[in-house]
Chain A
Amino acid sequence: GQSLEQPSEVTAVEGAIVQINCTYQTSGFYGLSWYQQHDGGAPTFLSYNALDGLEETGRFSSFLSRSDSYGYLLLQELQMKDSASYFCAAPDSNYQLIWGAGTKLIIKP
């Protein structure tokens, strides 16, 4: 089977840095994506890693280690508007996304 595991909830302070981890088990690997979803909203694409290493997009970065079947999303200079759920997702062999259960990020002032 294929699965992605991530923590259910992470709490951080405004202005700080937070890391959300994702470990995956897939038959074949076709990249790891991250999506953000605010309450009542739709998922929004954040980042994609196909190869090992760090991808940076403004305050958000995503890291992948294929040998460890592991990735993380790093959010810097946290703002209250970053309070949301974050999902890691990976395509299966049919190129359909398998989703992690989501991590609720709570930011305190």
Chain B
Amino acid sequence: DTEVTQTPKHLVMGMTNKKSLKCEQHMGHRAMYWYKQKAKKPPELMFVYSYEKLSINESVPSRFSPECPNSSLLNLHLHALQPEDSALYLCASSQVAGNTQYFGPGTRLTVL
């Protein structure tokens, strides 16, 4: 099984809402990632969980908070987002950090 799953596929939310994005992998990978991608741009790393340690891109605002309930699951909690946060949010995993990354299909987020 080389699949990374993400839910939901699409999400529309207001600026006062709280929502969560979910990601799951069953490949036994020890590193999981959240990326944000704007149109015609490369993915931009937000968070990395590697061997249960969190690394944060310091430019990511605190209205995004990751949670790793176990080694197969990675959530991204969203609170008080801004319209500029509208983007494709991608989850990925790799056997170890820096190795080949496998991406989920992404969540298309629109903030109104």
Tell whether, in the assembled complex, residue A95 and residue B97 are in contact, meaning their CB atoms are under 8 Å apart: yes
- Shortest distance between the CB of B92 and any CB in chain A (Å): 8
A interface residues, how many (CB within 8 angstroms)? 19
The chain B residue sitting closest to A6, CB to CB, is B42
Q: Taking chain B's interface residues, is the majority helix, strand, or loop, or is none over half, making it mixed?
A: loop
B interface residues, how many (CB within 8 angstroms)? 21
Tell whether, in the assembled complex, residue B103 and residue A44 are in contact, meaning their CB atoms are under 8 Å apart: yes
Tell whether, in the assembled complex, residue B97 and residue A96 are in contact, meaning their CB atoms are under 8 Å apart: yes
Q: Within the assembled complex, what's the spacing in Å between the Cα atoms of A95 and B100?
A: 11
A interface residues, Cβ below 8 angstroms from B: 30, 33, 41-45, 48, 87, 89, 91, 94-97, 99-102
B interface residues, Cβ below 8 angstroms from A: 40-43, 45, 48, 50, 55, 88, 90, 92, 96-98, 100-106
